[in-house]
Amino acid sequence: MVEPEILAEVWRGPFLESQHRGHAVICNGTGDIVASWGDPDLVFLPRSSSKMIQALPLIESGAANLLGLTTEHLALSCASHQGAAIHTDRVSKWLAELGLTDDAFRCGQQEPSDRVARDGLICEGKAPCQMHNNCSGKHTGFLTVTRHLKAGPEYVDPAHPVQLAVREAFEDLTGMASPGYAIDGCSAPNFATTLHGMARAMAKMAAGTTGSDTRNLAAARLVAAMARHPELVAGEGRACTEMMRAMGGRASIKTGAEAVFVAILPGPGFGIALKVEDGGTRAAEAAVAALLVRLGVANAADPMIAKRLNPTLRNWRGIETGFIRVTDNIWQDGRAI
């Protein structure tokens, strides 16, 4: 196994306080590695970074067109949202159009991350429902395919037609058989692959606009929907939303739990996949920001990029105490890749 590389450091004053090690791969449209750090063959769980692949059956089955789904629906199907009204109102309406209620979900109740939504529930004495789950958009997509296929209600079962379709798409795009799966936080199976496989999948999705088959066209629609509605993919203050806004459609990006990050770059046709070993999200955001700058789709001076690339650390009094910086391993003076 190739050892991980130090991707980011945390400094407090003049002292190096922490280091984050990880792995990253950049692929082109033919699946070849353009650049890599650490072990490209690392087997990992992509977690929520795979939602764009999980959403492919929504389009490929014909369900999206039959129901007349918009780009907002497609963006939500790829989302790890905040549970804000902008998210739950749309999920609620979509669910009603299917003739279903919150009970149809299998994702579980989750307190919304959005402060306004959370405080509203507390003031009203209400408990959060499954629509507040950050994966409820993805699950509404699953339910849409389930209804279209006239399949059973347990759509998160790995043997369910929806999950079989997800696995087929996942293995096709990654270019390899998945070595297995684990159950994600939302109860759906999450298929494992390698960093190279995931970067290859993102590059294939980036090249979707150049193909004419069903999968290429479906990929292109999802990538474009994410870029068009970054506020639905995550939420205000979140890295995915703010960095996609900053890039103005030049890349669609998605985080996953335990410090996973992927990026789809339709212009150059590149895909990025990275994983920080200790699960530190701050390091994954810094590393992906660095790669997006080096690939020419992000501006290091843009405030939404800079706040992830080299964020300043402050204490509760607002005093600057240190900073996070990407290492020369991955930054290399910002030289173009």
The Cβ of residue 127 has, within 10 Å, a number of other Cβ atoms equal to: 10
What is the predicted pLDDT for the residue at 208? 74
**Which domains does the chain show, CATH number per domain?**
5-334 (3.40.710)
How do 312-314 and 270-276 pair as beta strands? unpaired
For 230-272, the pLDDT digits (tens) are: 999 999 999 999 999 999 999 999 999 999 999 999 999 999 9
Residue with tokens 């759509």: 155
Neighbours of 171 (CB within 10 A): 17
| Integer-rounded Cα radius of gyration of the chain | 19
The model's pTM is 0.96
Residue 210 has a pLDDT of 58
Half-sphere exposure of 243 (CA within 13 A, CB side): 31
| pLDDT < 70: residue spans in the chain | 209-212
185: three-class secondary structure by DSSP: coil
Mean pLDDT rounded to a whole number for the chain: 97
Amino acid identity, position 67: L
pLDDT attached to residue 1: 72
Hey, which residues does 22 pair with through a beta bridge? 5, 276
- Give the per-residue pLDDT at 135: 98
- Distance between CA atoms of residues 86 and 92, nearest Å: 10
C-beta of residue 106 within 8 angstroms of C-beta of residue 79: no
